[in-house]
Amino acid sequence: MAPLKSWLSIPPDSDFSLSNIPFGIINSKNNPSEKRPAIAIGNHVLDLKAFSKANGFSGLPSLKDPLTVFSQPTLNAFAALGQQTHNAVRTYIQDIFSESTSNPQILKDNASLQKEALLPKHETKTHLPMQIGDYTDFYAGKNHAFNVGSMFRDPANALQPNYTHLPVAYHGRASSVVISGTSIRRPHGQILLDKTASPPQPTLTPTRALDIELELGCFLCTTSPLGTPIPIGPAAASSIFGFVLLNDWSARDIQTWEYVPLGPFTAKNFATSVSAWVVLPSALQGFRVQKLQNSTDVLPYLREESDDSVYDIQLEVDLTTPEGDTTNISRVSARHLLWSFPQMVAHHSVGGCAMNVGDLLGSGTISGASGGGGDLGSLLEACQGGKKEIMLKGMDVRKYLKDGDTITIRGVCGEDGARVGFGECVGTIESAIQL
Amino acid sequence: MAPLKSWLSIPPDSDFSLSNIPFGIINSKNNPSEKRPAIAIGNHVLDLKAFSKANGFSGLPSLKDPLTVFSQPTLNAFAALGQQTHNAVRTYIQDIFSESTSNPQILKDNASLQKEALLPKHETKTHLPMQIGDYTDFYAGKNHAFNVGSMFRDPANALQPNYTHLPVAYHGRASSVVISGTSIRRPHGQILLDKTASPPQPTLTPTRALDIELELGCFLCTTSPLGTPIPIGPAAASSIFGFVLLNDWSARDIQTWEYVPLGPFTAKNFATSVSAWVVLPSALQGFRVQKLQNSTDVLPYLREESDDSVYDIQLEVDLTTPEGDTTNISRVSARHLLWSFPQMVAHHSVGGCAMNVGDLLGSGTISGASGGGGDLGSLLEACQGGKKEIMLKGMDVRKYLKDGDTITIRGVCGEDGARVGFGECVGTIESAIQL
């Protein structure tokens, strides 16, 4: 398919081509006090509140009361309208921006609305796109689970017996989810310096093993009451609003000591970063690929009609040292999942757990199958639990993150001129506070 | 201290004496469409919106704009005002209702306001008292942790090495917290019928091991930004709004199969019940007792000035069969905790986790030290993992709950005429849906 052409100048390598149209929340130089919805396009954003106010949606009568929906400080109200509406709005905006638009009077030939609503991206700031009800982090990256299991047990018993039967997950902390660009404060916690001491003598200290987890995040757009599972198939698929990049920052030394028997807690709840622009499933439709093959014949409530339910998104992770040297430390496709998001939704709700608009699901850490380096989603795997240094530019090395390090995650599908990308998910490590 | 006397007729065995004054959210026969704050007193509730509207708080000028605060459908706005205000309001209401009130014109001699704002409790319905941001369930009931650890490992290694060093917890699911009286739908989930089969063959089925967890819940009233721990001492103590009874319903067969390695998930996220009336710390002040002694010298960030930081609340659990026979299955004091709520707050936030007004913390299951029966907080312990029947009235027995069973938890401190109680936390098991 030839790239869609726009009357707006969009750099060919932009994540936000006319094929994308992701949604986010901004404020701007010309209106700093008001958070409001927008879409990203090339080096611009379209302020959907200003656009609605000027009757920009007059060509889309099926969208009722756009000004109310797009005057909210989060995307929850828009998300709650359902996928059919999301797709109608995306298609309408694609038309408004296309060279051969059927509605040139709306924006193409309307210099005053362009001035008011089409803002240079560098004059805007992004915020958390959704009010998050609950946040759940899955563990669907099978290569990651295998690598970690091999390290802590042995390769023959790397995966727990339940792993191929159900998408393992833990409840995360919604209050700790932050927007890309937020600095990450190195957390204190209990760690065991001497693992052989008896009785154990934990120390309260800033973590020495601050790690990343390269994940895809998924925001939900449906509300299901308590006691009502969301079945696999159309119901689970249509519960998905869209996707973001997600970094579930982790303190490995705290985690090792605290996680038995109820799972990770303070090792994770100090911060989780998400990228700003929510990419709709319809924008990713052409990049569906088969998920990892499951040797287990899963129970019917998790069985999908077709296995092409994950996306071939090219993810990459850069580490920039405080001195400014940037090294790419991972490149891997988001296809390396054993479970798709519709399967996660079906499992999450099978016992009747209430799901809400704005709930966030993390995929779990995504690592490639190389077994070696270059395609791993965590430093834990890359440094083999602390046994190995990772080489960086600037004659530097790392096992885990140092103060002042910046992690930048990117994700993109497709070719120049028609790229569907996520922008960046960035965080810089700040030194621990004095306790 | 002699009981406070009221001009209102309060039954001497009421949980809601003049010494209590707990806060909740109601609607009523005379105003069914509006959820609003109230306090419980004897067999009545005082509608705080109607009371504010009629200038009932005119004798408490330090309380700014009571009508706005008490026109909300949750207690979050009131909670956010802080303990000093909560205590001032409680003391003021105690005065308004006392026989020798200094403000008789406000309510005692004001028949029309009594008619409007002082509602018979049976004409009102209670709702979730707070909008819950995040829900965390701790594991501070040491006897429970010991009993369960003994069952799954052995008594010599019952407690994990970290148990006496930090309050173990997992993040729960805020969307699954329901108000007392809500029916509990038996959840489906994956269970292993044959634990020896290789490879394992899980089945999707309604749980056969539906259990209770007898807990105290604690709502928070302060907001701490990400990266900012709440230190033990006055800061942690003043972050507590108040307490409720909590039943963290659990499906043991689902839990056993799913919980490795990241903790419980669908085994817990189908429902957690809380009682309706939030009892303030000031009402419980006279019932402080020493928590369980910790053999470990805990790290300074968890060290309290004094150990009397838990409460001697008499908890009890009744099981009523579908045939209507009620058996008391547990009586135990809430003092059986190794960690206090201020310690939980300090640990929860030590890595910088953001805490919010309305967050809910569960204590973990509270069991006594008998080692036998009659004081256990879960059926798992009472039936010894399924080995033993629990005798019920009506010539019946149970291991776990059957459809139609009702669990009623009560909790109370103090003597007749001055009781500080929680009312009930009730749930009846409904049969599983057809999948």
Q: Which residue, B348, B350, B342, B349, is CA-closest to B309?
A: B342
With CA atoms as reference, report the closest residue to A264 among A130, A167, A376, A364: A364
Give chain A positions within 8 Å (CB) of B354.
175-176
Question: Which two tokens mark A371?
Answer: 């077994």
What is the rounded average pLDDT of the residues B386-397?
96
Shortest distance, CA B428 to any CA of chain A (angstroms): 14
Over residues A141-176, the pLDDT tens digits come to: 999 999 999 998 888 899 999 999 999 999 999 999
- Do A381 and A262 lie in one domain? The reply is yes
> What angle is formed at CA B93 by the lines to CA B89 and CA B101, rounded to 5 degrees?
130
Q: Do B204 and A139 touch (CB under 8 A)?
A: no
> Residue B64 sits in a domain of what CATH number?
2.30.30.230
Dihedral (C-alpha) A34, A35, A36, A40: value to the nearest 10 degrees?
Answer: 120
Residue A177 forms part of a structural domain: yes
Same domain, A241 and A369: yes
The reply to whether residue B355 touches residue A175, judged by beta carbons under 8 angstroms, is yes
Q: What is the mean pLDDT of chain B?
A: 97
Q: Buried b vs exposed e over A166-183: b needs ≥16 C-beta within 10 Å? A: bbbbbbbbbbbbbbbbbe
Alpha-helical segments (H) within B8-133: 48-53, 66-69, 76-79, 83-97, 111-117
Nearest CB neighbour to B173, from listed A171, A176, A200? A171
Whether B75 maps to a domain, the answer reads yes
* Residue A153, annotated as binding a ligand: yes
Tell me, yes or no, whether B174 and B56 share the same domain: no
Chain B residues in contact with A171 by the CB 8 A cut-off are 170-173, 265, 269
User: B8-17, pLDDT tens digit by residue?
Assistant: 999 999 999 9
Q: Chain A residue closest to B355 (CA)?
A: A175
Is residue A336 one of the residues assigned to a domain?
A: yes
Angstrom distance (rounded) from CA A333 to CA B217: 43
Is ipTM > 0.90 here?
yes
Catalytic residue among B86, B144, B188, B336: B144
Which position among A44, A86, A144, A188 bears the catalytic label? A144
CA distances from A166 to A11, A226, B72 (A): 43, 21, 41
Give the span between the Cα atoms of A344 and A235, in whole angstroms.
Answer: 12
Q: Which pLDDT score, from 0 to 100, does residue A153 have? A: 82
What are the beta bridge partners of residue B421?
B412
Domain boundary among A127, A149, A184: A127
A72-93 per-position pLDDT tens digit: 999 999 999 999 999 999 999 9
**Residue A3 pLDDT level (bands cut at 50, 70, 90):** confident
Nearest chain A Cα to B270, which residue? Answer: A353
Given CA atoms B380, B384, B388, B391 in this order, what sign does their dihedral have? Answer: negative
Q: Using 50, 70 and 90 to split pLDDT, how confident is the model at A4?
A: confident
Expressed as residue numbers, the domain containing A206 is 135-430
CA B231 to chain centre: 23
Taking the C-alpha atoms of residue B140 and residue B371, their distance in angstroms, rounded to an integer, is 17
Taking contacts as CB-CB distances below 8 angstroms, the residues of chain A near B433 are 227-229, 352
> By the 8 A CB rule, do B106 and B7 touch?
no
Task: Answer whether B174 sits within 8 Å of A355, measured CB to CB.
Answer: no
Give me the residues paired with residue A250 across strands.
A211
Task: Indicate whether B78 and B39 sit together in one domain.
Answer: yes
Q: Is residue A79 part of a domain?
A: yes
- pLDDT tens profile A309-364: 999 999 999 999 999 999 999 999 999 999 999 999 999 999 999 999 999 999 99
Q: Is residue B287 domain-shared with residue B260, that is, in the same domain?
A: yes
Taking CB atoms and an 8 Å limit, are B133 and A175 in contact across chains? Answer: yes
Residues B171 and B257 occupy one common structural domain: yes
Residue A428 assigned as binding residue: no
Q: In this predicted model, which residue has the larger pLDDT, A63 or B153? A: A63
- Look up residue B120 and give its amino acid: P
- Give per-residue pLDDT as tens, A174-187: 999 999 999 999 99
Tell me what percent of the residues of chain B surpass a pLDDT of 70: 100
Contacts of A389 (CB under 8 A, 6+ apart): A383, A397, A398, A399
In-domain check, residue B79: yes
| Cα dist from A288 to A283, A284, B308, whole Å | 10, 7, 59
**Bridge partners, residue A224, by sequence:** A355
Does one domain contain both A270 and A363? Answer: yes
Q: Give residue A1's pLDDT.
A: 54
Active site residue A86: no
Contacts of B370 (CB under 8 A, 6+ apart): none
Nearest to B136 by CA among B217, B79, B77, B63: B217
Place of tokens 């030939």: A109
Residues B413, B421 contacting (CB under 8 angstroms): yes
Please tell me whether residues B320 and B233 are part of one structural domain. Answer: yes
pLDDT computed for residue A91 by the predictor = 98
Contacts of A163 (CB under 8 A, 6+ apart): A139, A142, A145, A338
Among B110, B127, B144, the domain-final residue is B127
Name the average pLDDT for chain A. Answer: 97
Whether B114 is in a domain gets the answer yes
Task: State how far residue A428 is from chain B, nearest Cα, in angstroms.
Answer: 14
Shortest CA distance to B425 belongs to which of B268, B250, B213? B213
Encode pLDDT of A266-307 as tens digits: 999 999 999 999 999 999 999 999 999 999 999 999 999 999
The confidence score (pLDDT) of residue B371 equals 74
Q: Is A213 labelled a binding residue? A: yes
φ, ψ (nearest 5 deg) of residue A426? -120, 145
Residue B36 clears pLDDT 90, i.e. is over it: yes
Place of tokens 């790290």: B299
pLDDT at B1 over 60: no
Query: Residue B3 — pLDDT band, cuts 50, 70, 90?
Result: confident
- Residue A156 tokens read as 């023959």
Binned at pLDDT 50, 70 and 90, residue A370 comes out as confident
- Measured CA to CA, the distance from residue B281 to residue B82 in angstroms comes to 12
pLDDT at B4: 81
**Residue tagged 């909670």 (tokens):** B79
CA distance linking residue A348 with residue A341, whole number of Å: 10
Residue written as tokens 């669907």? Answer: A140
> Is B85 found in the same domain as B173?
no
Domain match, A81 and A119 both: yes
What is the Cα A344 distance to its own chain's centre?
Answer: 15
Q: Which tokens go with B97?
A: 């209702």
Separation of CA A246 from chain center: 4
Average pLDDT over residues A106-128: 98
- Do B296 and B330 lie in one domain? The reply is yes
CB atoms within 10 A of CB B46: 24
Mean pLDDT value of segment B290-295: 96
Which residues of chain A have a CB within 8 Å of the CB of B172? 171
Q: In this complex, which of A199, A262, A266 lies closest to B351 when CB atoms are compared?
A: A266
Show the CA angle centred on residue B272, arms to residues B266 and B273, nearest 5°: 160
Residues of A in contact with B257 (CB under 8 A): 162
Nearest-CA distance from B284 to chain A in Å?
Answer: 29
Q: Among B83, B104, B127, which residue terminates a domain?
A: B127
Neighbours of A262 (CB within 10 A): 21
Candidates B338, B309, B313; CA nearest to B140 is B338
The rounded distance, in Å, linking the Cα atoms of A145 and B266 is: 20
**Which pair of tokens denotes residue B269?**
């996220």
Burial of B158 per CB tally in 10 Å (0-12, 13-18, 19+):
middle
Q: Do A134 and B189 touch (CB under 8 A)?
A: no
The closest CB to that of A353, out of B226, B266, B300, belongs to B266
- Does a structural domain hold residue A145? yes
Domain count, chain B: 2
In a domain, A18, yes or no: no
Do B195 and B293 sit in the same domain of this protein? yes
DSSP codes joined into one string, A217-259: EEEE---B-TT----TTHHHHTTEEEEEEEE--EEHHHHHHH-
In order of A9, A113, A167, A407, the CA distances from A424 in angstroms are 21, 28, 27, 10
**CATH at residue B288:** 3.90.850.10
